[in-house]
Amino acid sequence: MCIFFVWGFLALFLSLATFSFALDNGLMRTPPMGWLAWERFRCDIDCKNDPKNCISENLFRDMADRLAEDGWKELGYVYINIDDCWSSMERDSQGRLQADPTRFPGGIPKLARYIHDRGLKLGIYGDLGTHTCGGYPGTTLDKIKVDAETFAEWGVDMLKLDGCYSNATEQEKGYPLMSAALNATGRPIGYSCSWPAYQGGLPPNVNYSLLGDICNLWRNYGDIEDSWASVLGIVDWFMTHQDILQPAAGPGKWNDPDMLVIGNFGLSVEQSRSQMALWAIMAAPLFMSTDLRTLSSEARAILQNKAVIGINQDPMGVQGGRLLKESSGIEVFWRPLSDSASTLVFFSRRTDMPYRYTTSLGKLNYTAGVYKVYDVFLQKTMPMLKDSTEFTVSVNPSGVVMWYLIPKAGVWEEGARYPDPRHRSRVTL
């Protein structure tokens, strides 16, 4: 949240060269999935007048219940993530962070137990600066060790560390120091860094090789908003720089284009499918930020689509990208997957009417052969395709057609459930 860009060359780790900060937690070998409060609920702390939506333990308990009871957990959505505005305005007498006593009367440890009892994980928010973006106590360099130890004692499973009210030098020191401090607690805590977003997201200010040794995931770009223009802006930035970003991603280290806003107010059903498909192409973390208590059936079907989830969670962990950008307004995206499989997304930027796009697999750089095809959103097997055979897809305005493909000789077992996250390389025939 509250990303502010700080430009200028960053000489990474020069003052910390004698230390090892490699993140050694074994976590997030596939992109993490769950629910995050910020985009939908922001910094609503008015529990007197808005008790159901304010940032309080009740909100996070409600969302944990929904993940546990409505089929989300089984699909991999296991993190319940607190964002800004959860803490008291003052640290306690020992200098430790503390939850707001009115909105979190049981404190974070009690909330963590509630979430863990439901088979879920708790994420929390901090900021590497004097204050969080919302004005709450930050984690200055001298507080990194005590805050990491506090989070571990509370039973926290993930930390998102923002960068408001800090400068480039403090970020250069602080993000690696927090990585080392989290490791030193002995508790596996996934680590989300906002560092690259504050440095413009690109080399030479950002060293992605070093980021992969420090963080499990990182925000590269500005905050998502509940609008189609925001989603498109993020996609454009990631695809413009895909040659830089793709090599940085892999098991345990992910580029993060920010939250899924599916189920809120700004996207149509077609646009919601597009965000889900493009986030799967990008091997992006899937953190929903919507009210799961009032979610529509259309939004639920998109967010719980097993095929999209299976593609996103492919264990090979290769980030995909854009192959073609046609003058017609159609764009083609591709991602390689395990077991010689792949996924194609045909995406329309048009705003007028469905567009019939004709191509062949050969034109999309597929090797010679016959391919089995599964339409992810129609949830049905399509006719097999030879690489040289032309085909036509009809793509709705701001919508997608998403295919899972595998060579005819590849693994595609009759009756197997694809893509149940336990069997991510299988497709139901």
Burial of 329 (C-beta count, 10 Å sphere; 0-12/13-18/19+): middle
Of 133, 140, 187, 135, the closest CA to residue 159 belongs to 187
- 240 contact partners, CB below 8 Å, separation of at least 6: none
Q: What is the C-alpha separation between 64 and 114, in angstroms, rounded? A: 8
* Residue 22: per-residue pLDDT: 56
Per-residue b/e over 53-70, b at no fewer than 16 CB within 10 Å? bbbbbbbbbbbbbbbbee
Crossing angle (nearest 10°) for helices 107-117 and 144-154:
50
The CATH 2.60.40.1180 domain(s) of the chain lie at 321-423
Active site residue 223: yes
Q: Which class in CATH covers the domain with range 14-304?
A: alpha beta
User: What sign results for the dihedral spanned by CA atoms 400, 401, 404, 409?
Assistant: negative
- 18 contact partners, CB below 8 Å, separation of at least 6: none
Query: Which pTM value belongs to this model?
Result: 0.92
User: What sign results for the dihedral spanned by CA atoms 420, 423, 426, 429?
Assistant: negative
Of 426, 70, 129, 29, the closest CA to residue 62 belongs to 70
| Token digits of residue 166 | 């800090």
Selecting among 147, 162, 226, 258, the annotated active-site residue is 162
Of 384, 324, 335, 388, the closest CA to residue 357 belongs to 324
Total number of residues shown for the chain: 429
User: What sign results for the dihedral spanned by CA atoms 309, 315, 317, 318?
Assistant: negative
Per-residue b/e over 215-254, b at no fewer than 16 CB within 10 Å? bbbbbbbbbbbbebebbbebbebbbebbebbbebbeebbb
Q: What is the C-alpha separation between 309 and 313, in angstroms, rounded? A: 6
CA distances from 193 to 70, 181, 302, 321 (A): 30, 14, 28, 23
**Which is it for strands 33-36 and 286-288: parallel, antiparallel or unpaired?**
parallel
- 266 contact partners, CB below 8 Å, separation of at least 6: 225, 226, 227, 228, 230
Task: Compute the 3-state secondary structure of the chain and give helix, strand, coil in percent, each to the nearest 5.
Answer: 30, 20, 50
Is the bond preceding 419 in cis, omega lying within 30 degrees of 0?
yes
* Residue 10: per-residue pLDDT: 29
Could you tell me which residues are beta bridge partners of residue 391? 359
Q: What is the C-alpha separation between 374 and 412, in angstroms, rounded? A: 11
Tokens 């699909």 belong to which residue?
Answer: 75
Q: Strand 286-288's sheet: what is its strand order?
A: 254-256, 217-219, 190-193, 158-162, 121-127, 79-81, 33-36, 286-288
**CA torsion angle 385 386 390 391 (round to 10):** 0
- Do the beta carbons of residue 53 and residue 41 sit within 8 Å? yes
Selecting among 65, 70, 213, 223, the annotated active-site residue is 223
Tokens 């591709």 belong to which residue?
Answer: 334
CB-side neighbour CA atoms (13 Å) of 151? 33
Query: Phi then psi for 218, rounded to 5 degrees?
Result: -150, 145
Of 96, 193, 114, the closest CA to residue 150 belongs to 96
Q: What is the C-alpha separation between 141 and 343, in angstroms, rounded? A: 44
pLDDT by 10-residue block (mean), the chain, 429 residues: 33 33 83 98 98 98 98 98 98 98 98 98 98 98 98 98 98 98 97 98 97 97 98 98 98 98 98 98 98 98 98 98 98 97 98 98 97 97 97 98 92 44 35
The CATH 3.20.20.70 domain(s) of the chain lie at 14-304
Q: Which class in CATH covers the domain with range 321-423?
A: mainly beta
**Which is it for strands 380-386 and 342-348: parallel, antiparallel or unpaired?**
unpaired
